[in-house]
Structure 1
Amino acid sequence: MSFQGLRGILFDKDGTLFDFQATWGNWARELLRRIAGAETGRARSMAEALRFDLQTGRFHADSPVIAGTGDEVVGLLAPYARMSRAALSELVAGEAARAPLAPAVPLRPLLTRLRAAGLRLGVATNDYEAVARRHLAAEADLFDVIAGFDSGHGGKPAPGMLLAFAEKCGLRPDEILMVGDSRHDLQAGRAAGMRTLAVLTGVATEADLDDLADAVRPDIGHLPTLLSLD
């Protein structure tokens, strides 16, 4: 697959711009502590629902959190939360906004280089838009679009967010590269008619993703070489 002629890059956030396990393992532990308090049995039940290992602080490869929306996470926790769904949603979003971020690579130098090459940049995440904007506050000026599942275009694997980015930037879908770490990301890219790049800073392996990817790389730091910007 040729990567010539690209005019835009659309990134997933978690597992792509940020290392998934390093960022969200600590978030999950703190969130479950906040909900369960001293009730260790309830914490274990919620961890199992999320497919999260409380002892290692890591998500299992089949965790629905990896590619799920914020609403889907709330739905998994709601049977154990003993609070209203609205209050739980507020708690999940609040803890997500405070998650200890672990960038996959130094973001600003990479994004600045891509912008200097004339590329339009965006983020399409199944997280809340407000959380994404908080996580990317230091780089927000480098993105044309930051969209979440609640931005009015739906969540991945549907292509709504991706097509909205194309329309906003005045680009054809085939001029855009969708970069992600999950099958949901790559399925959305395929559905939108975009080229796709899989990165391995999430939980999925190359074998999990390569049938949906035009290329697989360890992380987004390989983009300049892939796009012949070096």
Structure 2
Amino acid sequence: MPIDALLFDKDGTLFDFAATWEAFARAFLLRITQNDLDRATVVGRTIGFGMIENRFSPDSIVIAGTPSEIADALMPSLPEMEHAAIVDLINEEAARAPQAEAVPLIPFLDGLRQRGIKLGVATNDAESPALAHLGAAGIEDRFDFIAGFDSGHGAKPGPGQLLAFAAHVGVDPSRVAMVGDSTHDLKAGRAAGMVTIGVLTGLAGPEDLSPLADVVLPDIGHIPGWLAA
């Protein structure tokens, strides 16, 4: 069946996960611990980030979790802070995080639009930093739909964002492909009845994604060739 619409995860899919979120994690952890490296190292372990190695563990809550879920994991280590304050700091630092494009995004997205394909973004980030990231890359206006976990459709792996996109662009879910780097993305795609495309620009390997993906590609730049084939 032809694909008429593509819905992208943001981090690890449109943008390389490690290059973007390692910088975020380091800045956030130092800020939240008043530049106490030892305490930042301890707190970092609760969200699966090693300050010394400057690297996430494959099971880090940051990979696919919402800011609220990340704050939940941090609360026991930050008893002096309210949950809402932690979420606010996560969103603030996330909006500042440098974005490393997985491929040159403007020509990639323009090429898809020229083929008449509807485009959207579904992220477990909050909507505000997601818009900031897409705007900074100059691609916000390439998308017909952008949703964060707080946009009113729920979060992945639930299918709410995905079904809202399909309804918004008027395309049957079976003719939409969900593109993502995590099992959360692909589980959401399966739950919505969509085609699922896994990409390897996050932390998950092909062995993680293949059971849930119709195809696993090195990065989103391979999608036009896959569509043509």
- Given the two structures, how large is their TM-score scaled by the length of structure 2? 0.96
- RMSD over aligned Cα, in angstroms? 1.1
Question: 1:78 is matched with which residue?
Answer: 75
Paired amino acid for 2:20: T
Helix, strand or coil: the match of 1:10? Answer: strand
C-alpha distance in 2, partners of 1:40/1:136? 31
Helix, strand or coil: the match of 2:228? Answer: coil
Structure 2: 5+ residue runs without aligned partners?
none
Paired amino acid for 2:151: S
- Given the two structures, how large is their TM-score scaled by the length of structure 1? 0.95
C-alpha distance in 1, partners of 2:95/2:37? 25
Q: 2:49 aligns with which of 49, 52, 65?
A: 52
Question: 2:94 is matched with which residue?
Answer: 96
**Offset at 1:89?**
1.4
> What is the count of residue pairs matched by the alignment?
226
- Match status 1:187 vs 2:184: no
Helix, strand or coil: the match of 1:174? Answer: helix
C-alpha distance in 1, partners of 2:185/2:85? 29
Structure 1: 5+ residue runs without aligned partners?
none
Superposed counterparts of 1:1-230, under 5 Å = 4-81=1-78, 82-137=80-135, 138-228=138-228
Helix, strand or coil: the match of 2:12? Answer: coil
- Say whether the 8 Å CA contact 2:145–2:165 is kept in structure 1: yes
- Say whether the 8 Å CA contact 2:16–2:100 is kept in structure 1: yes
C-alpha distance in 1, partners of 2:84/2:60? 23
C-alpha distance in 2, partners of 1:179/1:38? 37
- Say whether the 8 Å CA contact 1:42–1:80 is kept in structure 2: no
C-alpha distance in 1, partners of 2:150/2:186? 20
Paired amino acid for 1:6: I
**Offset at 1:56?**
2.2
Helix, strand or coil: the match of 2:139? Answer: helix
**Offset at 1:111?**
0.3
Deviations 1:93-144 (A, max 9, x none): 0000000111111111000000000000000000001111110011111101
Helix, strand or coil: the match of 1:66? Answer: coil
**Offset at 1:79?**
2.4
Q: Which moved more, 1:46-55 or 1:214-223?
A: 46-55
C-alpha distance in 2, partners of 1:98/1:38? 18
- Say whether the 8 Å CA contact 2:41–2:52 is kept in structure 1: no
